[in-house]
Amino acid sequence: MKKSCLEVKYTAVAIRHIVQSGLLTEDDLLLVSSLCEQYTEGEDNADFYPSYSLPSNKILLFAFGIVVAIVATLLSTFIIISLLILAVILLLFAVYKIICYYRVSVVRKDGIQLRDYLKQFDELLLMVSKCLRLIQEAEVVSRGYTRLTPLTPASRIEQQGTGYQCVVLRRCVVNVCENLLSGLHKAGTDLCSKFPLKVELADYQQPLPLEDSPQEVEAIAMESLKLFVRVVALHNSGLLRITALCLNGELTKEPPSFNLLSMLPTTLVHDSHSSLKQSFALHRNRVFGE
């Protein structure tokens, strides 16, 4: 079934946003770019605010109907019937325009959803990096150094066995990562079940499996925290890969709907960022008195 201009623009802009987000791994980027090549080429600044107008053939059809109704009104003795026909044509025209504007509003809402998700996840990763650096600085300061520098042996300080600094912040990072892993995996599974790909492409749609979390003491170690963050980034890349493939109606068994992007866990990412931001600010004040 041939796609409308609005559907093609919707798909192309959404996939380009995902490809250009910088949140895909190299393998996922190559896969999406190869399977959705026809949608990845275009303007980098394209956005989800299309100016949608009626196709010219439908405008001509409505105009022809209106002209015929007016002529019939002028030449016919059944003026009331002719006016009713004219009113019906105008009503159908108005209903069609309302439907068009509704479809555009759905596209705009989905576009905002995707844009916010990509932006907030990028900010979340940045906040996690700040938290890890703060933890390292706290470990360094507690051992007599002034501040973390490239020459400070931060990677070996935790191995000296004198206890962890910023334990609450470490646990906050662990909890955020665990919640994100669960939410990302659920979103990917829901997308796979609702918009399955064709049989020959099914392997590319499967989300990454969830692994058992490490023990509490191991989980809050710096290396474990960094591993958690890398795993979260991998799962997010997998979810974005699945989303991009589901957007391409040529790859799915059934045409995707306009509300596909609303299945992204935007609220979860936002709440995770807020939680980390509060914990980061509290521990920064405690460590450095800022």
Q: Which secondary structure element, helix H or strand E, spans residue 226, and what is its range?
A: helix 222-247
| Tokens, residue 161 | 């066995």
Q: Binning pLDDT at 50, 70 and 90, where does residue 119 land?
A: very high
Q: CA–CA separation, 207 vs 181, rounded Å?
A: 11
pLDDT given at position 52: 45
Task: List own/partner pairs for 91-98 with CB under 8 A and 24 or more apart.
Answer: 92/62, 93/62, 96/54, 96/58, 97/54
Q: Binning pLDDT at 50, 70 and 90, where does residue 10 land?
A: confident
| Tokens, residue 43 | 């303007």
pLDDT given at position 284: 83
pLDDT given at position 163: 66
Q: CA–CA separation, 103 vs 257, rounded Å?
A: 11
Task: List own/partner pairs for 34-42 with CB under 8 A and 24 or more apart.
Answer: 35/201, 35/204, 35/245, 35/248, 35/251, 36/244, 36/245, 36/247, 36/248, 36/251, 39/11, 39/12, 39/15, 39/247, 39/248, 40/15, 40/16, 42/12, 42/13, 42/16
Q: CA–CA separation, 127 vs 234, rounded Å?
A: 17
CA contacts within 13 A on the Cβ side of 152: 18
pLDDT given at position 54: 46
Write out pLDDT tens, residues 77-93.
566 666 676 677 777 76
